[in-house]
Amino acid sequence: MLGLRRLVREALLEDVGQGDVTTKSTIPDDLRCSARVFARQAGVLSGIEAFREVFEVLKARVEKWHARNDAEHFSEGDLLGSFEADAAAVLTGERVALNFLQRLCGVATLTQQYVEAVKGLDARICDTRKTTPLMRTLEKKAVMHGGGVNHRFALFDGVLIKENHVAAAGGVGEAVRRAIEGTHHLMKIGVEVTTIDELSEALEAGADSVLLDNMSLDAISEAVKLTVSRKVILEASGNVTLENVRAIAETGVHYISVGALTHSAPSVDLSLLLENA
């Protein structure tokens, strides 16, 4: 991943700065240790590459590296990985490494719960741009590790006309037409609507994908019926929870986007244990 090293280095600078005063004063430079990462609760793994990169940046001289793969499910108490390295570097990098790993496992694990909730149905669970600043690439990977799919990465790789664009542009149809004219020919045109009327306007103007924002189950079902014979993609969004996601999926929409996957996933509790090697 282009940019991972820089991200990890910045994170280390934030936490280590000019030096880890505790480790420097208490741990001999030449001490080697064996380290093991355990899960304190069940979940789905994500972020193992960033975890390891922390120790590479710190030049911990990692050896005997064993780790589970991203996307693997784990239970409470499971060993997720182990390695040998310089004790001082492991102690210095431990928190940053776990901060990455716990957060990303959290995203993967919550995603997996949503995916599980719609099992057997066609709808796919996808993420949003409601990610943590500077963590988007990693968080979007975590969504995939949890079984979800990615939405557009950012503002530059997909057109999605939101309610505020519609208001400023003077209507759904006008906004869609401008977007078709103003973007390159490999981009589809997505647009957010809140009523069946707006949906019709979007379709007429040539939208390729329509996001049904905060609409009732009935309205979503009607939207699905209206478009069943057209090559248009339907996405539902807004107030999606683990409780209502299956009902939404059952309407027949193709995608359900869930901001909580990245903005409100609780961390998965992990621990790193050291022994002198």
Is residue 24 within the footprint of a second copy (CB under 8 A)?
yes
Is 162 an active-site residue? yes
Q: Which two tokens stand for residue 277?
A: 């090697």
- Judged by CB under 8 A, the residue of 14, 122, 197, 204 near a second copy is 14
Q: Does residue 126 contact residue 63 with C-beta atoms inside 8 Å?
A: no
Q: Is 95 in the site for a second copy (CB under 8 A)?
A: yes
Which one-letter amino acid corresponds to residue 199? L
Q: Is 244 in the site for a second copy (CB under 8 A)?
A: no
Per-position DSSP letters for 226-269, written without gaps between them: HHTTSS-EEEEESS--TTTHHHHHHTT-SEEE-THHHHSPPPPP
- Catalytic entry in 95, 129, 178, 188: 95
**Backbone φ and ψ of 83, nearest 5°:** -165, 165
Q: Is 169 in the site for a second copy (CB under 8 A)?
A: yes
CA 165, 168, 174, 180 torsion: positive or negative? negative
Q: Is 27 in the site for a second copy (CB under 8 A)?
A: yes
For residue 18, the SS3 value is coil
Contact window for a second copy (CB under 8 A) among 62-70, 111-119, 176-184, 242-250: 176-184
Contacting a second copy (CB under 8 A), which of 15, 72, 78, 222? 15
- 86 an active-site residue? no
Q: Per rule CB under 8 A, is residue 70 in the interface with a second copy?
A: no
Q: Which of 109, 111, 209, 237 binds a second copy (CB under 8 A)?
A: 209
When binding is defined by CB under 8 A, the residue of 62, 71, 79, 187 that contacts a second copy is 187
Residue 68 near a second copy by CB under 8 A:
no
Report residue 186 as tokens. 């490999």
- What's 47's DSSP letter? -
Is there a catalytic annotation at residue 29? no
Q: What is the DSSP string of 55-68?
A: HHHTT---EEEEEP
| Residues facing 160 on adjacent strands | 190
130 in active site: yes
Which of 48, 58, 125, 261 touches a second copy by CB under 8 A? 58
- Report the C-alpha gap between 101 and 167 in whole angstroms: 41
Residue 201 sits in the site that holds a second copy (CB under 8 A): no
CB closer to a second copy out of 73 and 162: 162
194 token code pair: 């809140």
Annotated catalytic sites, by residue?
95, 130, 162, 192, 213
